[in-house]
Structures are given as C-alpha cells and as structure tokens.
Structure 1
Amino acid sequence: MAFKIVWPESAIKQLQKLERPIANRVFAKVDELKENPHRFLTKVVGSECFRLRIGDYRVLVDIDKSTITVLKIGHRKNIYN
C-alpha cells in the first residue's frame, strides 16, 4: 500500500530555503517514504510525530492511515526548538 505525501505550504517554504542539493536529497528521501515509511522513521520522544534523518537535516512528519504529512524541515540543531 503506497502512502500519499502531503506538503503543506509551510513545509514547502522551509524546503525552498535549503540549498538546492540538500533540498533535492530531502525531497527524494521523503518520496521514498511512500512505500514503507516505518523503515526510515523514528518516533520523536514526547511527541506524536516521527523524524526522518537526512545527514545533518531532519524532517518531522505525521502519519495517518494512508497519508504522510510533512510538518517541519530543518537542521538538526534547530529542528526541535
């Protein structure tokens, strides 16, 4: 079962602020979540969301039955603030 990826406007703006090669890596890795999201995701302690690690960058996502919503994208030192 393939999941649908939802990119809210706020996540798109955060993606656009990244350097092009990093943004491309983030987009490609998030796209890989469609087939098996739990393979790459780790639950965030004290939260209902999950994190995806891409080098020094993190993507926070929420998972429903068939939808993955991108919540936040940023550098690992700033993402949890």
Structure 2
Amino acid sequence: MNLVLTLTFLIMSLAMVVVFIRLVKGPSLPDRVVALELIASIMVGMIGVHAIYTQSSSFIDVAVVMALTAFLAAIGFARFVEKGGQRDD
C-alpha cells in the first residue's frame, strides 16, 4: 500500500510540473487558465491521497473547499471572457 501511495504522489508531482510549464509558456490566456484549473484539480487529488495515507478525514474537508474555490474561479473567468475581457488568442 505504501508503494502505491508513493507512486501516486510521484506521478501527480510530475503532472504538476508539466502543467506548471504550460502555465508559464501559455501561449494564450485561456490556456493559462485551464492550466491553473488543472493545477487546482491535481492539488485536490493530492490532498485526497494524503487523506488516505494519514487516514484523517479532516483533509477531505480541505479538498472540498479547494475544489469549490477552483470552481468559482472558473466561473469568474468564464464571465470575464463572456463580457469581452482581455484576449490574446
């Protein structure tokens, strides 16, 4: 079980690095926002795996709050683009 959790953390960390490169490189604002949303989703997954590892249910609450915050950020970005905000694509 410990090997599986370690491997899961390693794969999620690698995914985080790849997504961070996409966040920095761009090329457009929507690409960067999608990368930021994906980072938030990976973080929620990592918190969930950590909750399984430590057998602590309080981390699940943290993951839910983070997921809701990321969802609200996505809604805010969609409104921003819908109203004709800054675009460089």
Greater share of helix: 2
What TM-score, normalized by structure 2, do the two folds share?
Answer: 0.32
Greater share of strand: 1
What TM-score, normalized by structure 1, do the two folds share?
Answer: 0.35
**Greater RCO, CA 8 A, separation 6+:** 1
Please tell me whether Structure 1 or Structure 2 has the larger radius of gyration of its CA atoms.
2
